[in-house]
């Protein structure tokens, strides 16, 4: 955003703050929705699809105002799926292994924190294209949404009727 779209460091930082604020607000809301609806699989697919779309949209944006409007939706996509996956992993593992399974899942997620910046940086360096970098980044949640289609949801006995 700074180099490619002439935003100042403060303006780009504000955009990223909006991403984070959406996550702070969105995570509890998605938890309540999941408890109420009892269908974390489909909420996860929806959020991962939003994540994919917003990364692609973000790659096409060109000015500060557009980035500021898109940032909260990107923040929802980027961060809000993780509590849903955590609850599905814990339910699938059962009470005796919920902690271990969730911990292993969180550790696996951290691989993304190492691998993704390398891949996206390589794509950006090779192409000089912000859009190409965002498209490479969008491949992850798109694949995640497809994989979620094959997940069997556990029957939830605590979902509100």
Domain boundaries, the chain: 2-148
Which residues 6+ apart lie within 8 Å of 96 measured at CB? none
Measured CA to CA, the distance from residue 79 to residue 22 in angstroms comes to 9
For position 59, what pLDDT does the model report?
84
Q: How many CA atoms lie within 13 A of 22 on its CB side?
A: 22
Report pLDDT digits (tens) over 8-31: 788 889 989 999 999 999 999 998
pLDDT at 155 over 80: no
**pLDDT tens readout for residues 65-98:** 899 999 999 999 988 998 898 888 988 888 899 9
Return the pLDDT at 37.
86
pLDDT score for 39: 82
pTM: 0.84
Q: Which residues contact 3 (CB under 8 A, 6 or more apart)?
A: none
- Spatial contact of 149 and 136, defined as CB atoms under 8 Å apart: no
Rounded-to-integer distance, Cα 63 and Cα 70, Å: 11
CATH of domain 2-148: 1.20.1250.20
Residues 25, 75: contact at Cβ < 8 Å? no
* Confidence at residue 113, expressed as pLDDT on a 0 to 100 scale: 86
Distance CA 66, CA 73 (A): 12
Instruction: Name the band, by pLDDT with cuts 50, 70 and 90, for residue 157.
Output: very low
Segment 36-74, tens digit of pLDDT:
988 889 999 999 999 999 999 988 888 888 999 999 999
């Amino acid at each position: 955003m700074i180099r490619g779209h002439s935003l100042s460091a403060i303006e780009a930082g504000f955009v990223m703050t909006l991403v984070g604020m959406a996550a702070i607000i969105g995570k509890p809301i998605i938890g309540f929705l999941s408890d109420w609806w009892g269908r974390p699989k489909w909420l996860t697919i929806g959020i991962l699809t939003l994540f994919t779309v917003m990364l692609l949209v973000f790659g096409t944006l060109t000015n500060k105002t557009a980035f500021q409007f898109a940032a909260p939706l990107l923040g929802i996509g980027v961060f809000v799926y993780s509590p849903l996956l955590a609850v599905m992993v814990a339910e699938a593992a059962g009470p005796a292994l919920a902690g271990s399974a969730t911990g292993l899942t969180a550790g696996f997620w951290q691989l993304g924190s190492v691998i993704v910046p390398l891949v996206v940086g390589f794509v950006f360096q090779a192409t000089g294209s912000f859009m190409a970098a965002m498209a490479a980044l969008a491949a992850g949640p798109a694949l995640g949404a497809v994989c979620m289609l094959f997940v069997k949801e556990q029957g939830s006995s605590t979902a509100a009727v």
